[in-house]
């Protein structure tokens, strides 16, 4: 039996009176016993209080002073709307690339400044925990920790956790026992099924405010939208039966009905900014620079590959995780430069992972690598850079390749700025400033400029290609993002008959990855029904012994990627159909 509404809603006392702070008594006891700090201190005391007064959400306090964040009006409007109208419970459903993370971080910051959020939990896919922690720290000065052990639930008031870890015992118990001021769920379309452990876990969290981030609230059918909204505000779309009766127009649940009315209801819980009306990202131009390796480089590449294949399919057949990883690194390094691979080969000659015969082969490979004085690929890079006056970001995965490139490019007369994860923060800041000023080439490893505004440049050179396509996308995202006004050039250097050539085949020719907006690739790969990482898939194809087998496996993966891209395109259309104009705002 339900309680009467008024009974549940109203606290027992009929009025609210001021509660005076117990600490007042201390001040009364101490005051005037000794001389005060003087009239200026008295005035500053008042000023300290006045300056820190909070008056609701009359304005965004942190917005004007965020570090390394280009501020866009649609983000400010979104935040004010979530704070004032949605009262901190919203689905942030901006299209990909419009800065949902910034909006969520800003909302969190505004709440923390006001003292309304002290305990916050960010739930993300495992691969994004580090990125969220870093962004919250660098852009919002919010000291989040990534969940490592059960003790963190008590110790860390600001926590980033992989949803897959958090939903499992013993973590689940701790997470649901805690009273959270704010819960943020990234990639919230993973909560589409209310019978799933994910959905029930998030529903079971005790929270004051909640933000669900997803660019695609509707992935397959309308049920998903209902489930997402019910998590946030049960009843906002009626009960399930009523929702189906009113807003679902087909038996398979894919066709919406009474769409304008549905959008009206969604406006109470959802903000969706769209690209393309007031704001359009400039186009990208992709330049593919295939390289023919020199005979010595070719031979080394083939020999290293043969070693990797032999070791990968060794008689024992059951490789340790460490050995497997080592082989992947080796194969990736040889795709970058002979300088990158030489040192690893040297290190492996001492490694217990390999037997005596293998170590002997490694020694020979090391000697071959060290004997190669220069790489052909760098000539292509230098040729390209000579042809343009533009500032360019040149990315490589490896420090040794980076140092090699630095020497060559400086010798060629370029002003080169280096940037990598090992630099102290001040040196990183100085590097970005130098590139903004006199620097011509920003030579960077993967850590390159994460979270930095480098949109004043518009050329990205991939000197080598990471096997994880999301890393390639992140590189491009350093310049092709909100704030870029000019056409962006992406230059890919890759050697023929290498893993990188396979990558180009899949990513460029099959799914046209270089034309996607940053963020879309993740959604495409997310629809691949595949448990293995992209890197693992590439390695497994590459290590097949027969060229015929390799081609067939590559074709199968290519077809799966094409299907995933088609699925993504269809999903985007479905979301547009249901959610277009769901925000009252002028589209971004």
Partner 1 sequence: MSDAEALRRFVLDTLADVGATVSEADPLSWIQVPERVRSDLEVPSTFAITFDPDRVGDFEAELVAPGSYFLERIVALAASRGRWDVARFDAADAEWIQQSLSEGGLGSETGVHLETVELGETVLLLFSFRVTLVSDEKRERFHLIAVSPTTGSAWEVDSAKADSGLTALPQARIEPDLQAAYRLGAEKLRETTREAVGAFRAASLGLLEEEVRRIFGYFDRTIEEIQAADPDGSQDLLRAVRGERDRRLAETVERFDPKASASLCAIRAIQVPIARVHLRLPQGRGIDATLDAWSRRVDGLACDVCHGIDGPWIPYAGAVRCVRCPPTPAESARPRGRPRSDTPRRGTRDGRGSARSPRGSTARSRAASGRRRAP
The distance of closest approach from Cβ of residue 238 to partner 1 in the complex, given in angstroms and rounded to an integer, is 8
Instruction: Kindly state whether residue 35 participates in binding partner 1, applying the rule CB under 8 A.
Output: yes
Measured CA to CA in angstroms, residue 254 lies from 95, 220, 259, 260, 444 at distances of 20, 7, 13, 16, 45
Kindly calculate the radius of gyration of the chain based on its CA atoms and give it in whole angstroms.
28
Structure tokens at 188: 């919230």
125, 187 in Cβ contact below 8 A? yes
Q: Which stretch binds partner 1 (CB under 8 A): 17-25, 401-409, 475-483, 545-553?
A: 17-25
440, 414 in Cβ contact below 8 A? yes
Q: Which of 291, 262, 221 is nearest to 571 (CA)?
A: 221
Instruction: Kindly state whether residue 547 participates in binding partner 1, applying the rule CB under 8 A.
Output: no
Q: Which stretch binds partner 1 (CB under 8 A): 30-38, 301-309, 346-354, 567-575?
A: 30-38
Residue whose CB is less far from partner 1, 24 or 169: 24
Q: Which residues in 406-435 contact partner 1 (CB under 8 A)?
A: 425-426, 429
Question: Angle 223-228-230 (CA atoms, 0-180°, nearest 5)?
Answer: 90
Residue whose CB is less far from partner 1, 113 or 470: 113
The distance of closest approach from Cβ of residue 475 to partner 1 in the complex, given in angstroms and rounded to an integer, is 23
The distance of closest approach from Cβ of residue 68 to partner 1 in the complex, given in angstroms and rounded to an integer, is 8
Instruction: Kindly state whether residue 15 participates in binding partner 1, applying the rule CB under 8 A.
Output: yes
Residue whose CB is less far from partner 1, 179 or 533: 179
Residue whose CB is less far from partner 1, 18 or 547: 18
520, 514 in Cβ contact below 8 A? no
Q: Which residues in 65-104 contact partner 1 (CB under 8 A)?
A: 65-67, 87-88
Instruction: Kindly state whether residue 317 participates in binding partner 1, applying the rule CB under 8 A.
Output: no
Structure tokens at 109: 């910051």
Q: Which of 18, 315, 356, 357 binds partner 1 (CB under 8 A)?
A: 18
Q: Which of 359, 333, 332 is nearest to 347 (CA)?
A: 359
Spell out the residues 6+ positions from residue 338 whose beta carbon is closer than 8 angstroms to its own: 297, 300, 369, 372, 375
Instruction: Kindly state whether residue 319 participates in binding partner 1, applying the rule CB under 8 A.
Output: no
Q: Which of 118, 154, 177, 206 binds partner 1 (CB under 8 A)?
A: 206
Q: Measured between alpha carbons, how far is 231 from 251 in angstroms, rounded to an integer?
A: 24
Binding mask 214-253 for partner 1 (x = CB under 8 A): ----------------x--xxxx-xxxxx-----------
Q: Which stretch binds partner 1 (CB under 8 A): 15-23, 125-133, 294-302, 384-392?
A: 15-23
Q: Which residues in 168-187 contact partner 1 (CB under 8 A)?
A: 179
Measured CA to CA in angstroms, residue 304 lies from 341, 381, 464, 497, 530 at distances of 9, 24, 17, 13, 28
Residue whose CB is less far from partner 1, 125 or 483: 483
Residue whose CB is less far from partner 1, 53 or 356: 53
Q: Measured between alpha carbons, how far is 218 from 257 in angstroms, rounded to an integer?
A: 14
Q: Which stretch binds partner 1 (CB under 8 A): 5-13, 160-168, 392-400, 566-574?
A: 5-13
Q: Measured between alpha carbons, how far is 263 from 227 in angstroms, rounded to an integer?
A: 16
Structure tokens at 104: 């969520």
Instruction: Kindly state whether residue 55 participates in binding partner 1, applying the rule CB under 8 A.
Output: yes
């Amino acid at each position: 039996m339900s309680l009467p509404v008024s009974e549940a809603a109203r606290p027992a006392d009929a009025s609210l009176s001021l509660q005076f702070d117990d600490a007042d008594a201390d001040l009364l006891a101490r005051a005037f016993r000794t001389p005060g700090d003087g009239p200026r201190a008295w005035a500053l005391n008042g000023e300290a209080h006045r300056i820190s007064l909070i008056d609701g959400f009359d304005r965004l306090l942190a917005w004007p002073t965020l570090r390394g964040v280009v501020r866009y009006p649609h983000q400010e409007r979104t935040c004010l709307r979530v704070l004032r109208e949605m009262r901190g419970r919203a689905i942030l459903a901006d299209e990909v690339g419009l800065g949902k993370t910034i909006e969520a971080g800003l909302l969190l910051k505004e709440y923390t400044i006001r003292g309304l959020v002290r305990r916050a939990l960010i739930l993300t896919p495992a691969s994004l925990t580090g990125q969220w922690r870093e962004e919250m720290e660098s852009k919002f000065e919010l000291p989040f920790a990534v969940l490592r052990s059960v003790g963190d639930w008590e110790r860390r008031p600001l926590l980033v956790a992989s949803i897959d870890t958090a939903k499992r015992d013993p973590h689940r118990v701790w997470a649901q026992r805690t009273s959270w001021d704010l819960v943020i769920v990234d990639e919230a379309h993973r909560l589409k099924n209310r019978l799933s452990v994910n959905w029930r876990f998030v529903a079971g969290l005790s929270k004051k405010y909640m933000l669900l981030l997803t660019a695609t609230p509707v992935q397959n059918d309308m049920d998903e939208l209902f489930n997402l909204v019910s998590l946030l505000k049960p009843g906002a779309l009626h009960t399930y039966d009523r929702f189906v009766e009113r807003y679902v127009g087909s038996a398979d649940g894919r066709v919406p009905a009474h769409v304008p009315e549905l959008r009206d209801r969604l406006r109470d819980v959802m903000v969706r900014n769209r690209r393309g009306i007031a704001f359009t990202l400039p186009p990208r131009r992709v330049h593919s620079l295939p390289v023919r390796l020199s005979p010595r480089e070719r031979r080394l590449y083939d020999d290293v590959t043969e070693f990797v294949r032999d070791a990968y399919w060794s008689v024992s057949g059951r490789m340790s995780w460490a050995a497997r990883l080592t082989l992947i690194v080796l194969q990736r390094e040889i795709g970058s430069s002979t300088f990158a691979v030489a040192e690893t080969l040297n290190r492996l000659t001492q490694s217990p992972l390999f037997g005596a015969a293998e170590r002997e082969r490694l020694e020979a490979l090391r000697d071959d690598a060290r004997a190669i004085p220069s790489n052909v690929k760098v000539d292509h890079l230098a040729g390209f850079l000579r042809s343009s006056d533009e500032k360019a970001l040149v990315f490589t995965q490896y420090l040794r390749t980076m140092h090699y490139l630095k020497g060559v490019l400086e010798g060629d007369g370029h002003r080169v700025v280096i940037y990598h994860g090992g630099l102290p923060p001040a040196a990183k800041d100085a590097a970005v400033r130098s590139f903004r000023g006199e620097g011509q080439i920003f030579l960077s490893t993967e850590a390159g400029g994460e979270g930095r505004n480098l949109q004043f440049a518009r050329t990205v050179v991939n000197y080598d290609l990471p096997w994880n396509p999301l890393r390639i996308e992140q590189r491009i995202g350093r310049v092709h993002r909100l704030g870029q006004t000019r056409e962006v050039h992406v230059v890919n250097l890759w050697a023929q008959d290498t893993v990188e050539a396979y990558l180009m085949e899949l990513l460029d020719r099959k799914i046209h990855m270089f034309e996607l907006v940053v963020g879309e690739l993740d959604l495409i790969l997310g629809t691949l029904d595949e448990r293995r990482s992209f890197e693992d898939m590439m390695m497994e194809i590459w290590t097949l012994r027969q060229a015929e087998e390799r081609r067939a496996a590559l074709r199968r993966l290519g077809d799966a990627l094409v299907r995933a891209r088609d699925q993504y395109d269809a999903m985007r259309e479905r979301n547009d159909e249901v959610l277009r104009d769901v925000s009252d705002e002028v589209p971004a």
